Amino acid sequence: MRHFLDLHKTPAEDLRGILDLAVRMKTARGDQPKGTPDAEQAMAGRVMALIFEKPSTRTRVSFDVGARQMGGQTLVLSGGEMQLGHGETIADTARVLSRFVDIVMIRTFEETTLLELAEHATIPVINGLTDASHPCQIMADVMTFEEHRGPIRGRKVVWVGDGNNVCASFLHAAGQFGFDLTFTGPQSLDPDPRAIAFAREKGATVEIERNPARAVEGADLVVTDTWLSMHDAQSARERRYKLLRPYQVNQNLMDAAKPDALFMHCLPAHRSEEVTNKVMDGPNSVVFDEAENRLHAQKAIMRWCLGV
């Protein structure tokens, strides 16, 4: 029984094995109709609980479809439908769910919720996102880069904007997959120093460059994320927009990177804010391949957790 909680908590060789499996599963599906089940019904007879304390499109659909393609069934639960950490302790919820289902994915706010659930569950727990990290997304991102440009080891990735939870997972990936990462954004939004330290301890070069044009020089991949959260108050939204406006990914910024540099965004994107339409829809953008690969990467993660 294995949990998938964070990239820096999963052995690097296992992460590579998960990606190799994801590629094989995607290739095996080929051009089959979307509703076609996988030939290898790896989750047949199993039930997966999907817990959402945060709204979701890609995470919900990709995990739900992935489990079904592999012959499993899903039970989708929202925070409003459960007593997670309110009427019932998280530990007790973990114990109860372990009696009913075979695997759990949770998308939540506090990292402590994820960790307590995993500590007391006797079934695998997958981190679908917390305020601290988003490891499933980055597995799909690494898979997407390697589909288009080959091995990511030794490449230069530039994160532009807010050093948020997705950025933290990119730093974990830099250490685990052996690429370098440059962050460019305002000092007040610098990435988690613990994530920076992990990447550096693993041998990755991590740099902070306030000038975005200098930061993307020699970049193989440019990545950004939304500047605003749906939970931000209007006053906070205005402050963040002003702070991050110089870090918009536009065509001038992409022109300063390598000519074949890819662009990624985990979506949803606020077009004309963190990224322009010209970049989002341009030839170097792989955002929709990236979104699709959430499905394949997460199917491989589920199989790794269950050992099937």
Q: Which of 38, 136, 137, 265 is catalytic?
A: 137
239 is catalytic: no
Chain-centroid distance, C-alpha 156: 18
Q: Give phi and psi for 72, each to the nearest 5.
A: -90, 175
167 is catalytic: no
220 is catalytic: no
294 is catalytic: yes
Scanning the chain, the segments in alpha helix (DSSP H) are: 12-29, 58-69, 90-100, 111-120, 135-149, 165-177, 193-201, 212-215, 234-244, 251-255, 277-280, 287-306
Contact 76, 104 (CB under 8 A): no
Q: Which of 8, 172, 294, 296 is catalytic?
A: 294
At 175, list the tokens: 């250490």
137 is catalytic: yes
Q: Which of 3, 58, 107, 265 is catalytic?
A: 107
Q: Which of 8, 58, 134, 240 is catalytic?
A: 134
The length of the chain in residues reads 308
Q: Which of 266, 296, 298, 303 is catalytic?
A: 266
Q: Which of 60, 225, 240, 298 is catalytic?
A: 225
234 is catalytic: no
Q: If you search the block for the tokens 């999907």, which residue do you land on? A: 50
Distance of CA 235 to CAs 63, 94, 217, 228, 246, Å? 35, 38, 34, 11, 19
DSSP at 84: B
180 closest CA partner among 161, 200, 201, 151: 200
Active site residues: 107, 134, 137, 225, 266, 294
